[in-house]
Amino acid sequence: MSLSDWHLAVKLADQSLTPKSILRLPETELGGYSVSFLKQLIAGKLQESVPDPELIDLIYGGRKLKDDQTLDFYSIQPGSTIHVLRKSWPEPDQKPEPVDKVAALR
């Protein structure tokens, strides 16, 4: 398989009806990429769904991937599917509605 064919399928775990996204990896030291770098690539590709790489976990073969490990460590091969789990999402700022003081006194 040529280096330009190295790709992974990325699936958002909480969106079962959404198709997988194909992530093509740059062509240098493919298996040597760290999981944290892969998270950055995924966040760049899926910006609307994954706003921050720190807010996701990656799952492969039923195992949570550790940020400091490499793709080689987990034996991730070209064409593999990586599942993306959202850790947590920041709550949007809620602004209270202004209170009409006269109506509140009634």
Looking up tokens 């793709």, which residue turns up? 71
Q: In the chain, where are the structural domains located?
A: 3-90
User: What topology does CATH give the domain 3-90?
Assistant: Ubiquitin-like (UB roll) (3.10.20)
d(CA 25, CA 9): 11
User: Using one digit for the tens of pLDDT, what is the confidence trace for 37-70?
Assistant: 888 888 888 777 777 888 889 999 999 999 999 9
> Residue 102: is it exposed, middle or buried by C-beta count within 10 angstroms (0-12/13-18/19+)?
exposed
In this model, does residue 104 exceed pLDDT 70?
yes
- What strand order describes the sheet that includes 7-12? 21-24, 7-12, 81-86, 56-60, 63-64
Mean pLDDT over the full length of the chain? 77
- Given a cut of 70, is residue 29 above it in pLDDT? no
